[in-house]
Structure 1
């Protein structure tokens, strides 16, 4: 009998696995922990910069500066710590006035933040000292058109990213659509128009078949049309400096990759793949995955990262159990709106006709759910996910009553939003691709 303890929202769930043939835990590979983040930051913006000059040589004391940071769904990377160090460095070491610094929260199409959210995201010090800490609005009338990519995407961005020195702070993780988060995603979707985001993200669908394009997926960058388009769009902003954060599953800073916008991001991708990409020998009969607790299971939209990752570890027709409290419900305004075309059997046709980000995440979630019997522990009402093929429970005992562990191979994934199970062949290929595109630090 195996005793299991998994995070769930701001609390935890304890239960037993009885009668299984095997129980194996899937964790990320051992990662370093930065003990002195201030010293690491100073090194990374001076002698340790990647592909460019030290930060001091890129920005003059008279330059207006815009710092782009991520929203609350990515607060696990503790960007507030880095943002505060950066602002103090700009002011104290480089002579940039606080009134010359603006911070923009890269919301993409996500919900607006409260003032308290923005204070938390940027840090109290930054919020109280800089000229402004504002949310990006993808529907704002003053967004600036800066060009069209070779893929045909019209790129319009927040005006604070034009005519100013731009520094982007992002967190690098595996990403379902873009291959990896961080880097150019601070621009698209982060501070781009809704039209730009839609034109980029709709490339997730196969151009001919009713399915996701096989070139799109976690860890895939080389031929991924979404990533390639994002990189072109990001380059149009002429970002002065990129700061890419990698954390371990306890949100402790593990890697800081700073310098030329694209090259520093590429180096962080290699580090992420080697840290969170996990080669597995086989797919299990039963996979139990927690998102890792708050804020990673804040809503179902964010929790689908765990669904996508964990579904790779379960056999076709096996059982996937996911723990995601989701106190905010879907988390995306239009996510569950797509249940209607799903129930009518026209989801692919409807999404192509009126593509949205939430719609595609819903589409991809349905693709993953179809692979296995999917059971969910959540505070959401079960009816919300029933038509997707998910059985949802509010009590773990009720959920486990539906599971037969006897003689089964079981994987337990405590941090499903971070750990990406991969066949050994896929792991080696993706590591090689990440190395060729940037190399480890």
Structure 2
């Protein structure tokens, strides 16, 4: 019996898979990567050697004000490590600069006070100016151009008015932008709702290039790059983390060049060869990415890449924060089938995208070909069932159901962290 640890909320579930069923365990090499130095040393080393850019210190010298964009509560960016370093280095050369921290909520809900404390630590939460971007507040955004796709580009007014704009984030495989990090802090991070929806249209989501680990010819990435340039995103600090959410590498400098280098590194670590199976088991990497069903679709796409058509995907995800988007839930729950959802979405024009459409489009795509069993003892089972998935309180129950569907001899591929791999 193979014993495999799978992230679930803030812990690890140890699951048993019969040896004769197990086809493969697919994991990013990031889990075994041995970092050189402490997290602080790694970050400072990257800032000391910026890629394609002047140093952070040179950029802030003589400036009156600036904005630092950071990720929201759904992303495991280790801001307790990175933000103090950024603030210290900035204020060492410019003690009087006005710094505002802007949380890139994108289309998500605002961060709560408690989430800010958890993310930044008490000191920063108490003494820095931290602002949630509100994508649906039309008074807080300004139009700055037209995206290559034709959509209107509206960005956070505060970010556009400040003398200097930089961002922090992390790089991991992303299920339709190719990779997270870099330009994503601007679009969707601090863009208006209408801009996010134009960028996330059904045509782009359906593109063969809008896939995990793919940037070349990716129409979504192309829009995002344009948005970052228009925002004059001058500098980024992007980190790569392991399964324990610890920093193993950092990349700093030009928003495009430093991000590209980071993506190359992640691709080297995260690429795994697909091993097709009747049953695919995965997770969303635990907290904070498995707080809701909306985010959990990301991990499901890794399982989709290895699951045979008609197979079963077992998704281990806490979903303690519910579905994660009312439009996402309603469009799944109110449809008779995933096929109905897909048919309706593909008839929706680029400028007619509705909230959360991209997420229920991808979930419907997965559900049209596979049975999904979501494992959680932290959410409402009826919510899961109404979204055309099966529910199990325990992993053992889910595996039992999967064997009932595919047979006792079904082969199994396990991807312990579905958001951490690029399946080739």
TM over 0.5: yes
Which residue in 2 is equivalent to 1:293? 286
1:316 to 2:309 alignment? yes
- Aligned pairs for 1:77-226 (under 5 A) are 77-92=77-92, 94-97=93-96, 100-130=98-128, 132-140=129-137, 141-163=139-161, 164-202=163-201, 204-205=202-203, 212-226=206-220
**Cα offset for 1:129?**
3.4
Distance in 2 (CA, whole Å) between partners of 1:19 and 1:124 is 47
Q: Identify if the C-alpha distance between structure 1 residues 370 and 71 changes in structure 2 by more than 3 Å, giving closer, same or farther.
A: same
1:37 to 26, 36, 39: 39
Preserved contact between residue 210 and residue 218 of structure 2 (Cα < 8 Å) = yes
Which stretch of structure 1 is more off in the superposition, 143-152 or 239-248? 143-152
- Alignment partner, residue 395 of structure 1: 394
How far does residue 186 in structure 1 lie from its aligned partner after superposition? 0.4
1:260 match: 254
SS in 1 for 2:214: coil
| Residue pair 2:284, 2:419 contacting (<8 A) in 1 also | yes
Question: What does residue 230 of structure 1 align with?
Answer: 224
**Are positions 1:384 and 2:378 aligned together?**
no
Alpha carbons of structure 1 residues 61 and 225: separation in structure 2 relative to 1, 3 Å? same
Deviations 1:157-213 (A, max 9, x none): 1122123201111111111221111111100110111111111111x426xxxx812
Change (3 A) 1:62 1:372: closer
Q: Which runs of 5+ in 1 are unaligned?
A: 423-441
Deviates more, 1:215-224 or 1:146-155: 146-155
Q: Distance in 1 between matches of 2:16 and 2:342?
A: 40
CA distance in 2, matches of 1:322, 1:347: 21
Alpha-carbon distance between aligned partners in 2 of 1:371 and 1:349, rounded to the nearest angstrom:
14
Report which stretch shifted further, 328-337 or 141-150: 141-150
What is the aligned residue count? Answer: 411
Q: Tell me, yes or no, if the aligned pair for 2:39 and 2:246 is still in contact at 8 Å.
A: no
Per-residue CA shift, 1:383-439, capped at 9, x if unaligned? Answer: 3233544211113343232233643332222212212322xxxxxxxxxxxxxxxxx
Change (3 A) 1:406 1:191: same
**What CA RMSD, in Å, does the superposition of the two structures yield over aligned residues?**
2.2
Q: In structure 2, how many angstroms separate the alpha carbons of the residues matched to 1:5 and 1:126?
A: 34
Number of the residue aligned with 1:54:
55
- 1:34 CA displacement: 4.7
Q: Quote the Cα distance in structure 2 between the aligned partners of 1:260 and 1:172.
A: 15
CA distance in 2, matches of 1:128, 1:120: 12
- Cα deviation code 1:276-303 (max 9, x no counterpart): 12123x3122222132322221111111
Provide Cα deviations, 1:236-293, integer angstroms capped at 9, x if missing partner.
011121111111122110121100111111111111111112123x312222213232
Match of 1:435 in 2: none
Q: 1:272, 1:197 → 2: CA distance? A: 25
Look up the match of 1:325: 318
2 CA distance for matches of 1:128 and 1:308?
A: 39
Partner Cα separation in structure 2 for residue 356 and residue 96 of structure 1: 44
Instruction: With the length of structure 1 as denominator, give the TM-score of the two structures.
Output: 0.87
Q: Is the 8 A contact 1:289 1:414 kept in 2?
A: yes
> Is 1:176–1:218's contact at 8 Å kept on the other side of the alignment?
yes
- Structure 1 residues 170 and 12, CA gap change in structure 2 (3 angstroms): closer
Separation in 2, partners of 1:177, 1:113:
24
Shift of 1:69: 0.2
SS in structure 2 of the partner of residue 89 of structure 1: helix
Contact 1:118 1:134 (C-alpha < 8 Å) held by counterparts: no
TM-score (norm 2): 0.90
Bigger Cα displacement from structure 2, 138-147 vs 114-123: 114-123
> Alpha carbons of 1:38 and 1:339: their partners in 2 closer, same or farther (altered >3 Å)?
closer
SS of the counterpart of 2:74? helix
Judging changes above 3 Å, is the alpha-carbon distance between structure 1 residues 110 and 407 closer, same or farther for their aligned structure 2 residues? Answer: same
CA distance in 2, matches of 1:174, 1:84: 26
Judged with a 3 Å threshold, the aligned counterparts in structure 2 of structure 1 residues 14 and 242 are, in CA distance, closer, same or farther, namely closer
Whole-Å separation in 1 of the counterparts to 2:315 and 2:33: 25
Alignment CA distance shift 1:14-1:129 (3 Å): closer
Q: Distance in 1 between matches of 2:223 and 2:169?
A: 18
Q: Bigger shift: 213-222 or 371-380?
A: 371-380
* Cα distance, 1:357 vs structure 2: 4.8
